[in-house]
């Protein structure tokens, strides 16, 4: 089943950009920006809802290595790092994504909203939530649906955007 492709890809040496004792870093197979990487723990953590205080050091390590890979391959781009509230793939993964949001794989409005609303939880927030209360604060199911179906809004400026019919092109400048 396609939900498990990330776990398979973690074992494929040709897809690995970086590997250590705790994590694997891959290029996203369907990038939603010009540069889009995934940092995956080797330990099976299904999602944000599954993380616990004992995962804090691993999440910090994932964040540090995400910054490293962004610097290594980013060519001066600005990056955002975060997790999806409702990931489509099995295994927790940190998105390290350039903020251009320019990609032919960005085809659906839901793709845009998964990266530009509170459905994309900043890595710093996840770490802070764990440090401060031991639990990551996530949107409710009702809020998730609201964000998924929200009008498209620029992630850089406080303006609503337009799309074309052929594929998703966001006008955000």
Task: List active site positions.
Answer: 93
Alpha helices in the chain, H assignment, sequence order: 5-11, 56-73, 109-116, 123-133, 141-148
Does the CA dihedral 147-96-128-51 come out positive or negative?
Answer: positive
Name the one residue in this structure whose structure tokens are 């998730």: 144
| Among 155, 152, 34, residue whose Cα is nearest residue 103 | 34
> What is d(CA 71, CA 92) in angstroms, rounded to the nearest whole number?
22
């Amino acid at each position: 089943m396609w939900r498990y492709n990330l776990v398979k890809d973690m074992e494929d040496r040709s897809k690995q950009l970086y590997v250590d004792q705790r994590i694997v870093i891959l290029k996203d197979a369907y990038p939603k920006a010009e540069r889009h990487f995934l940092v995956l723990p080797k330990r099976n953590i299904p999602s944000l809802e599954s993380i616990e205080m004992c995962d804090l050091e691993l999440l910090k390590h994932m964040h540090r290595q995400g910054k490293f890979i962004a610097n290594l391959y980013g060519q001066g781009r600005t990056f955002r790092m975060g997790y999806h509230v409702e990931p489509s793939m099995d295994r927790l993964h940190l998105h390290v994504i350039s903020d251009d949001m320019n990609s032919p794989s960005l085809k659906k409005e839901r793709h845009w909203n998964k990266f530009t609303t509170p459905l994309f939880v900043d890595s710093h927030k996840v770490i802070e939530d764990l440090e401060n209360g031991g639990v990551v604060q996530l949107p409710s199911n009702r809020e998730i649906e609201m964000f998924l179906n929200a009008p498209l809004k620029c992630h850089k400026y406080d303006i609503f955007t337009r799309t074309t019919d052929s594929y998703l092109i966001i006008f955000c400048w």
